[in-house]
Structure 1
Amino acid sequence: MAQQEIVFVTGNANKLKEIQKILAPVTNYKLINSALDLEEIQESSLEQIATKKVKEAVSLLPSGTPVFVEDTALGFDALNGLPGAYIKWFLKKMSLDELIKILDGFESKTGKATTTIAYSDANGKIHIFQGITHGNIVSKRGSEEFGWDAIFEPLVSEGNLGIETYSEMSKDLKNEISHRGKAFRAFKDFLLSN
């Protein structure tokens, strides 16, 4: 049986490589990429943002094309989850050093990383998958090439503080414990069972 193509809408080459590694091998699907320019609504709900984007992608692709989008947030506990879904826009206007300075007046330096995937199957039914990782917001350590990875030190297990930021750890370890890894493993399990 031929592999069915599934479209991942992203213009981020680093994200594409990471997802290809996490999803491999999903034997009945061939992951292809499309850098469609989708409208990103300003909304605090990742589910609403991702659903809107996948619906727009469906309208731009040939009928019946399975397609998925992914949105990621970084929320600070001291700020009741902000910047959250707005993290991308914060990073366009400020450096990582400036971003963590926001927490200077707060005792809590913890946060939550969340990835939400919206997948529209060949019949147009939308499925949502989400992964969450809790961690500490720290002074930047490691490479700054992948968003805010250099300031997020994940909790490796409940009650056990991590000692590395996402940027400092191996790609395999990051994919194993990260919010994105958790969301995409749930998505992968869904694809393998359908």
Structure 2
Amino acid sequence: MSPAPRLVLATHNQGKLRELRELLRDQVPGLDVDTQVVDAGAVGAPDIVEDEVTFEGNALLKARAVCDATGLVAIADDSGLSVAVLGGAPGIFSARWSGKHGDDEANIDLLLGQLGDIAEKHRSASFVCAAALATPAGLVAVELGHLAGTLLHERRGTGGFGYDPILQPAGYEVSVAELSAKEKNAISHRGRAFRALLPQIVKALAGQDAT
């Protein structure tokens, strides 16, 4: 019999779950990340309507709701792409920029079309992630992470998900989608946010108060 889940990630996105498991691997004594770190579907957590207007607000909303529904320590993230020339858009609407939630190809096609005539010097953008923790004791924490770069004119690479194929990180000659999983986790907005949150996660899973 598999060990009971100890930590739930408030998402159905398997890419995010894989990244979180790798970030937590060997970080928490006694935690089997492959069986005890699960997604919302594995524990029957409800879908959450993300109706806040900031990354931080949506992340906290999801973490609290899933924690309340499952009685488990819950973490959530809200992330997206911020394009300078678009005033920070797509922002919190990144996953549904084309009108349909989670249609990565359509989102990328629309964004590339919108920026088709934008010169290289004006194509700066960054991935932004807010990572939030909620515990059954009612304690919460939230951290932010960023990955700055430049938007490419076409897709490059087949790894990752979302807008990874069209963002070239600052200081790199490849897109995020051309990085290995290890390389991506080392620099990604999500990796940075969850690493900042990691001390709180460790404390929560050890039964200690998060601060």
Distance 1:166 1:75, change over 3 A: same
Runs of 4+ aligned residues of structure 1 deviating over 4 Å after TM superposition are: none
Give 1:18-37 correspondences, 5 Å limit.
18-25=19-26, 26-27=28-29, 29=31, 30-35=36-41, 36-37=45-46
Higher fraction of strand: 1
Give 1:113-128 correspondences, 5 Å limit.
113-128=127-142
Q: Report deviation, 1:61.
A: 1.4
Alignment-derived partner of residue 126 in structure 2: 112
Distance 1:100 1:44, change over 3 A: farther
Question: In 1, Cα distance between the equivalents of 2:12 and 2:61?
Answer: 17
Distance 1:116 1:101, change over 3 A: same
Q: Report deviation, 1:4.
A: 7.9
Distance 1:105 1:43, change over 3 A: farther
Tell me if 1:132 matches 2:134.
Answer: no
Write out per-residue CA displacement over residues 94-117 of structure 1, whole angstroms, 9 at most, x where no aligned residue. 242332221234441111101111
Alignment-derived partner of residue 79 in structure 1: 86
Q: Which runs of 5+ in 1 are unaligned?
A: 156-160
Give 1:152-167 correspondences, 5 Å limit.
152-155=167-170, 161-167=171-177
What amino acid is the match of 2:143? F
Question: In 2, Cα distance between the equivalents of 1:163 and 1:40?
Answer: 37
Give 1:1-194 correspondences, 5 Å limit.
5-25=6-26, 26-27=28-29, 29=31, 30-35=36-41, 36-62=45-71, 65-91=72-98, 92=100, 94-107=106-119, 108-138=122-152, 139-143=154-158, 146-155=161-170, 161-192=171-202
Write out per-residue CA displacement over residues 71-107 of structure 1, whole angstroms, 9 at most, x where no aligned residue. 1110101011100110100153624233222123444
Write out per-residue CA displacement over residues 28-84 of structure 1, whole angstroms, 9 at most, x where no aligned residue. 54423322343233443111111222222123113xx21111111101010111001
TM-score normalized by structure 2?
0.79
Question: In 1, Cα distance between the equivalents of 2:177 and 2:129?
Answer: 17
The alignment yields a C-alpha RMSD, in angstroms, of: 2.3
Of 32-41 and 119-128, more deviation after overlay is shown by: 32-41
Instruction: Count how many residue pairs are aligned between Structure 1 and Structure 2.
Output: 186
What amino acid is the match of 1:121? T
